[in-house]
A and B are shown apart, each in its own frame.
Chain A
């Protein structure tokens, strides 16, 4: 059986690219890096925009990366797209997902484990979870407060103890067609028992199920 192919985009300033690649491989993917100037994504079934500080997060987090060639190419991409943390910010800045991510209410960076509720398991990103399941996944961001700005959105994960002031305790959302997901919590950081938990790897396993 051939493994599904996943591409992890490397923007200047991405810093969870290698972590994400590692988790994807662990979940069974044939994963490789995609340079931010790449425009041909036809060989991939999944593109992941990893966490980090693309272009230093200057101006607004994700704002500059949203204008990169690879993100422009995503508009014609037919496979699944997952944006983690900074990747989520890029997707909203590029209007591939609704809403925006703005400064945490505390005004500070927060790095800690968070309890989440899986509110939607009917997506290719969450089919390995039970609906209503409570999972623990780390967050690490200073701009993670989700605001919809009046746009409609479909939540996937919700915070149990909202750490940043997100509207409706929203931690992750999925696009209307179910093809694109953005999550502030880092599933790749909860992919190994030695790191304190494995609740996150099921996101990649879900995608594997959907693609195999």
Chain B
């Protein structure tokens, strides 16, 4: 039995706890029920203590975490519900159906609140598909799955993002956020109530699909991925569409008391949860569940068949509900009863096949005690990276040497521990002390280290320092204009920056006739609500490399990015949903990152007064020790009071004044930028784990991330938009200011002529900044000065569709719109429109 328990993903400790609780050996079915309820995916056992500290209350909060989706009031009668969910493990095994069922699941979560799903956003992570065939296959399959399912059910995919990194090569991430809008009076919850009332299953019949799927999603991959097969499910978007319509009809009936999606764990997790929420117990009769072919009670209870929901309906009034589902061609059957005794009892005919007190499921789980311990940046590890730079530099000559010297300078500035003079002195003394200690230990025989290796590292480091200290010329003057221009276009065509048109064109982003700003044209999607004078702005963000630099700061950076996106779309954020995608919490460094990331998000949300009303956790995203970036996706929903005031990204008027708002960035802030990554391709450092590489990058100076400052920045931008001071606006994110300016040219008819100070200002991604244009420069400057918000006038808009950037003492990048477009659009569209 222990062996069976382990194969279901339970630990030995958990198995012993089950035997103790029951006072006997569990049956197979009972063991399965425990395994699913106690899986990481369903129990949040490793993260609950941190998630609990996220703020979820606000004046608008109607339902917070724990419900199928978070629900916020929009006005007296109208609500918005939203949640993000991951489907990472299934998508790694079967990308099309894994992603498709992911869409289906989150749509039903939102539907289970009694509202109509109106928008989807997908946020995807892969290895670099330009280099990896496997990643390309995953990307195509996932997009195909989302398009197939989302298009069929008529819920527009209005936004999202794609980010590639080698760390996601074996563990792609597929997160989907769904937003629903509905009437407050029909909002439902996942609850069983009223002893004697009926439990109904509605939707598709149950089949032997994805048995133990949630437990599969809670383990790391080992060995051949095609062996990880048992949990594949096939979705049927047609059924889902019928389920949406039938459910929205049914929730209007007063006898429908509770509603919940059958997702991970199927009946085995949904029924206990609903019973607990209502403070009751539940009896399930497996022989009454409509099935596809003969199934055992074990299969019926643990099945993860898609497109099913559970309802609690007042006894005696079931027929009216059943009639609705039958009319839509769906199954509906009474399969259980609400009972007083707080147990989950399962009967097959007269025979009781499982009986578990609910308290055992919800309070009996031994909380895992993982250790949180950061593995701080180690000087020696850093020196090993530096040594490669120095070796390549030494082995080159002529112009190339000059160029590599410039790149080393930029790298040196933007990394720990050099940065500035103080950093250099500190590092020097630190190295001296440490190498002295190690050498003594080695001589004393108490440490087994290669003295020569240490000597080489230290030598390499000193030569690195000397190189940087002696470079009298700045990198800008050492790098040829042509080279910088080429690198800039490479940045623009990087998968993390380039247009995702090839993807969103495959999604129906207009169905519903509410999409005011769709994918690829604004900082956030804007959805109107017919009959209302306000709209919704929706966005999702989650750049894991920022968390690799620093989990606390990175989480706040991600959250702020979403706030900025919504603000620049004319909205004010009213709620967050968080998608936690991390490696195994059993690794102390990961566990520490997890804790700090959630603390960062919590502190940010509390300060801004934004409730985190829903979320999802996916752990164990690693394969044989190779960890993904610590990835926190943040979805934000905002209210736009005036749809007509939304500033556009594209430049359509000449003679406007162009400003950056926010503190300026310098070469010290290039850490983690695509530009620096592009330059570093000249050094053979690719085989260094990116999780290691990024932890040496410097964060921007703290004043850039002072929460008071950020709040003032957002307030100022939002008011300037409201009073019409801003004509165009775009935030600076992946690809830096250069990418932002390029997009403003690509998406409009006009061009830009600007002057900035150095490559740091042009390409940094970490300093929060926004590009805006105005026809009233004096008013804008007065406005910002009064509020102590730094700004810089960088140029003018021009009639011709070109981008001209003077970046250093007469040096410039000059690009025609068609050059920009080619770089921006071709990455995902080689071979004539298909990758």
Q: Residues of A with Cβ closer than 8 Å to B?
A: 12-13, 15-16, 18-19, 22-23, 51-53, 55-58, 106-112, 138, 140, 142, 186, 188-189, 191-192, 194-195
In the complex, the answer to whether A111 meets B507 with C-beta atoms within 8 Å is: yes
Which of B235-243, B312-320, B369-377, B408-416 has 4 or more CB atoms under 8 Å from chain A? B235-243
Residues of chain B contacted by A191 (CB below 8 angstroms): 513
For window 298-313 of B, CB contacts with A under 8 Å fall at none
**Complex-state Cα separation, A140 to B511, whole angstroms:** 9
In the complex, the answer to whether B509 meets A23 with C-beta atoms within 8 Å is: no
Contact flag A56-B154 (CB < 8 Å), given A19-B512, A108-B834, A110-B506: no
Residues of chain A contacted by B152 (CB below 8 angstroms): 13, 15, 53, 56-57
In the complex, the answer to whether A56 meets B237 with C-beta atoms within 8 Å is: yes
Known: A53-B152, A109-B505. 17 other contacts (CB 8 A): A12-B241, A13-B241, A16-B511, A19-B511, A19-B512, A22-B513, A57-B152, A108-B505, A108-B834, A109-B151, A109-B506, A111-B504, A112-B505, A140-B508, A194-B516, A195-B510, A195-B516
Listed by A's residue number, 21 A-B pairs whose Cβ atoms lie within 8 Å are: A12-B238, A12-B242, A12-B329, A13-B238, A16-B511, A22-B530, A53-B154, A53-B241, A56-B238, A107-B834, A108-B505, A108-B506, A109-B508, A111-B509, A112-B505, A140-B508, A142-B151, A188-B513, A194-B643, A195-B510, A195-B516
For window 494-531 of B, CB contacts with A under 8 Å fall at 504-516, 528, 530
**Distance between B499 CB and nearest chain A CB, rounded to angstroms:** 13
Residues of chain A contacted by B242 (CB below 8 angstroms): 12-13
Nearest residue (CB) in A for B517 is A196
Is B833's CB within 8 Å of the partner chain A? yes
In the complex, the answer to whether B513 meets A192 with C-beta atoms within 8 Å is: yes
**Complex-state Cα separation, A56 to B100, whole angstroms:** 14
Interface centre among B241, B329, B528 (most CB of A within 10 A): B241
For window 523-575 of B, CB contacts with A under 8 Å fall at 528, 530
Q: Identify A12's interface contact among B147, B328, B508, B510, CB under 8 A.
A: B328
**Complex-state Cα separation, A188 to B131, whole angstroms:** 42
In the complex, the answer to whether B506 meets A111 with C-beta atoms within 8 Å is: yes
**Distance between B189 CB and nearest chain A CB, rounded to angstroms:** 26
Q: Is the interface of A mostly helix, strand, loop or mixed?
A: mixed
For window 152-180 of B, CB contacts with A under 8 Å fall at 152-154
**Distance between A78 CB and nearest chain B CB, rounded to angstroms:** 29
Interface size on B, residues (CB 8 A): 31
**Complex-state Cα separation, A105 to B152, whole angstroms:** 20
Nearest residue (CB) in A for B643 is A194
**Distance between A203 CB and nearest chain B CB, rounded to angstroms:** 14
Residues of chain B contacted by A106 (CB below 8 angstroms): 833-834
In the complex, the answer to whether B236 meets A138 with C-beta atoms within 8 Å is: no
Residues of chain B contacted by A12 (CB below 8 angstroms): 238, 241-242, 328-329
Nearest residue (CB) in B for A188 is B513
Nearest residue (CB) in B for A51 is B511
Nearest residue (CB) in B for A140 is B508
Q: Identify A140's interface contact among B153, B328, B510, B644, CB under 8 A.
A: B510
Residues of chain A contacted by B510 (CB below 8 angstroms): 111, 138, 140, 186, 189, 195
In the complex, the answer to whether B238 meets A58 with C-beta atoms within 8 Å is: yes
Residues of chain A contacted by B530 (CB below 8 angstroms): 22
**Complex-state Cα separation, A18 to B508, whole angstroms:** 16
Residues of chain B contacted by A194 (CB below 8 angstroms): 516, 528, 643-644
Residues of chain A contacted by B506 (CB below 8 angstroms): 108-111
For window 125-167 of B, CB contacts with A under 8 Å fall at 147, 151-154
Residues of chain B contacted by A112 (CB below 8 angstroms): 505
Residues of chain B contacted by A22 (CB below 8 angstroms): 513, 530
In the complex, the answer to whether A19 meets B513 with C-beta atoms within 8 Å is: yes
Residues of chain A contacted by B236 (CB below 8 angstroms): 56
Interface centre among B504, B506, B513 (most CB of A within 10 A): B513
Residues of chain B contacted by A192 (CB below 8 angstroms): 513
**Distance between B735 CB and nearest chain A CB, rounded to angstroms:** 24
**Distance between A143 CB and nearest chain B CB, rounded to angstroms:** 12
**Distance between A196 CB and nearest chain B CB, rounded to angstroms:** 8
**Complex-state Cα separation, A57 to B51, whole angstroms:** 42
**Distance between A66 CB and nearest chain B CB, rounded to angstroms:** 16
Taken residue by residue from 613 to 628, chain B's Cβ proximity to chain A (1 for < 8 Å, 0 otherwise) reads as: 0000000000000000
Residues of chain B contacted by A15 (CB below 8 angstroms): 152-154, 241, 511
Contact flag A52-B154 (CB < 8 Å), given A12-B242, A13-B242, A191-B513: yes
**Complex-state Cα separation, A112 to B506, whole angstroms:** 9
Nearest residue (CB) in B for A111 is B508
Contact flag A53-B513 (CB < 8 Å), given A13-B152, A110-B505: no
Residues of chain B contacted by A109 (CB below 8 angstroms): 147, 151, 505-508
For window 472-513 of B, CB contacts with A under 8 Å fall at 504-513
Interface centre among B329, B510, B512 (most CB of A within 10 A): B510
Residues of chain B contacted by A111 (CB below 8 angstroms): 504-510
Residues of chain A contacted by B154 (CB below 8 angstroms): 15-16, 52-53
Residues of chain B contacted by A57 (CB below 8 angstroms): 152
Nearest residue (CB) in B for A23 is B513
**Distance between A34 CB and nearest chain B CB, rounded to angstroms:** 15
Contact flag A195-B515 (CB < 8 Å), given A52-B154, A56-B236: yes
Residues of chain A contacted by B328 (CB below 8 angstroms): 12
Nearest residue (CB) in B for A57 is B152
**Distance between B196 CB and nearest chain A CB, rounded to angstroms:** 34
Residues of chain A contacted by B153 (CB below 8 angstroms): 15
**Distance between A14 CB and nearest chain B CB, rounded to angstroms:** 8
**Complex-state Cα separation, A58 to B516, whole angstroms:** 31
For window 346-361 of B, CB contacts with A under 8 Å fall at none
Nearest residue (CB) in A for B513 is A19
**Complex-state Cα separation, A12 to B153, whole angstroms:** 11
**Complex-state Cα separation, A16 to B511, whole angstroms:** 7
Nearest residue (CB) in B for A58 is B238
**Distance between B324 CB and nearest chain A CB, rounded to angstroms:** 13
**Distance between B606 CB and nearest chain A CB, rounded to angstroms:** 35
In the complex, the answer to whether A195 meets B513 with C-beta atoms within 8 Å is: yes
**Complex-state Cα separation, A112 to B519, whole angstroms:** 11
Residues of chain A contacted by B513 (CB below 8 angstroms): 19, 22-23, 188-189, 191-192, 195
In the complex, the answer to whether A53 meets B151 with C-beta atoms within 8 Å is: yes
Residues of chain B contacted by A19 (CB below 8 angstroms): 511-513
Which 3 A-B pairs have CB atoms at the shortest separation, nearest pair first? A15-B154, A56-B238, A19-B513
Residues of chain B contacted by A189 (CB below 8 angstroms): 510, 513
**Complex-state Cα separation, A108 to B241, whole angstroms:** 21
**Complex-state Cα separation, A57 to B241, whole angstroms:** 12
Nearest residue (CB) in B for A113 is B510
**Distance between A149 CB and nearest chain B CB, rounded to angstroms:** 26
Residues of chain B contacted by A13 (CB below 8 angstroms): 152, 238, 241-242
Residues of chain A contacted by B511 (CB below 8 angstroms): 15-16, 19, 51, 140
**Distance between A55 CB and nearest chain B CB, rounded to angstroms:** 7
**Complex-state Cα separation, A142 to B511, whole angstroms:** 14
Interface centre among B147, B151, B504 (most CB of A within 10 A): B151
**Distance between B792 CB and nearest chain A CB, rounded to angstroms:** 33
In the complex, the answer to whether A53 meets B238 with C-beta atoms within 8 Å is: yes
In the complex, the answer to whether B238 meets A55 with C-beta atoms within 8 Å is: yes
In the complex, the answer to whether B508 meets A53 with C-beta atoms within 8 Å is: no
For window 13-59 of B, CB contacts with A under 8 Å fall at none
For window 631-660 of B, CB contacts with A under 8 Å fall at 643-644
**Distance between B80 CB and nearest chain A CB, rounded to angstroms:** 18
**Distance between B149 CB and nearest chain A CB, rounded to angstroms:** 11
Nearest residue (CB) in B for A15 is B154
**Complex-state Cα separation, A127 to B633, whole angstroms:** 50
Nearest residue (CB) in B for A108 is B506
Interface centre among B153, B329, B508 (most CB of A within 10 A): B508
**Distance between B17 CB and nearest chain A CB, rounded to angstroms:** 45
Residues of chain A contacted by B507 (CB below 8 angstroms): 109, 111
Residues of chain B contacted by A188 (CB below 8 angstroms): 513
**Complex-state Cα separation, A18 to B598, whole angstroms:** 41
Residues of chain B contacted by A55 (CB below 8 angstroms): 238
**Complex-state Cα separation, A1 to B199, whole angstroms:** 51
Residues of chain A contacted by B505 (CB below 8 angstroms): 108-112
